[in-house]
Amino acid sequence: MAISSRALFDLADSHRIYVEEGLAAYREHQIAEENEPLKPGAAFNLVNKLLKLNEVLEHPAVEVILLSRNSADTGLRIFHSIQHYKLSITRAAFCSGNSPYRYIPAFGSQLFLSLDGADVRQALELGVAAATIVPSRHSRKSDDHLKIAFDGDAVLFSDESEKIFQQEGLESFARKEKLAAKEPLEGGPFKPFLAALQQIQMAFPDGEAPISTCLITARSAPAHERVVRTLRAWNIRIDESLFLGGLAKDSFLQAFEADIYFDDHREYCDSASNLVATGHVPHGVLNP
């Protein structure tokens, strides 16, 4: 997993100084405060729980890479903060104002989280699961069990069906999904990440994995069948599947107690972020 410094830590005040006063003032501020730990950011809890998986796995399976537009000089505070919270992060790319997305494939990352939408789009074009973290005050910290929720079309699956819904309406969408029920959907940007999570789950006895996954989709019967058959064809299991038929997802995310939720619809992400940490996936027909 690759993560930007602003997704991992709360750098809002520092970023404001950079925007309002310039690079020199930002550098001076970061050096003056370099021994003052930064507060956790929107994706901190997710990172912390992912890294804790290594403590209970026979062979460590999770690595987190820090990607930052800071220089190594101004980034010293970030590494001090990593040490303060005892996060096992040792690899990083500090790019001195340039976009770090180009290093994602070199590090072999399967997920990239950032507050910079342009970097996220570039990562998606490279074939990496990526999302723009939507600022949220919510963070589930009750235990070490990691719960990740996904939207379906344009996230786990391609946007081929979403295109039909947007262009032809619900009736045509339902009719065509029923006819294509036995034809697996193409994979979306988060299919490889879901598969990687399943590999970690398989390292534990049945029912004991500290990871739970959930599909939360606006689909309903009969359009649910194609989803079920697609996951079966991929040989990927998802722990819970909610077919909501257009109901608002917020209360279901809260009931699942998701640590993070990924959706391609920005409006839904903004709403969900009031309850759970949320990642907007700028992919598919809804994100031209």
217-252 per-position pLDDT tens digit: 999 988 999 999 999 999 999 999 999 998 999 999
What's the pLDDT at 139? 64
66-115 per-position pLDDT tens digit: 999 988 888 899 999 999 999 999 999 999 888 898 999 999 999 999 99
Query: What SS3 class is residue 41?
Result: coil
Is residue 138 pLDDT above 70, yes or no?
A: no
CB neighbours of residue 61 within 10 Å: 14
151 is catalytic: yes
Is residue 131 pLDDT above 90, yes or no?
A: yes
- Model confidence at 117, in pLDDT bands (50, 70, 90)? very high
Tokens of 282: 């700028």
Class of domain 146-280 as given by CATH: alpha beta
What's the pLDDT at 204? 93
Task: Indicate the pTM of the whole model.
Answer: 0.93
Rg over CA atoms, the chain: 19
**Helix (H), strand (E), coil (C) string for 162-197:** HHHHHHHCHHHHHHHHHHCCCCCCCECCCHHHHHHH
Sorted by where each begins, the domain ranges of the chain are 2-132, 146-280
Catalytic residue among 116, 119, 151, 259: 151
What's the pLDDT at 288? 87
Residue range 253-263: average pLDDT?
Answer: 94
Residue range 129-151: average pLDDT?
Answer: 85
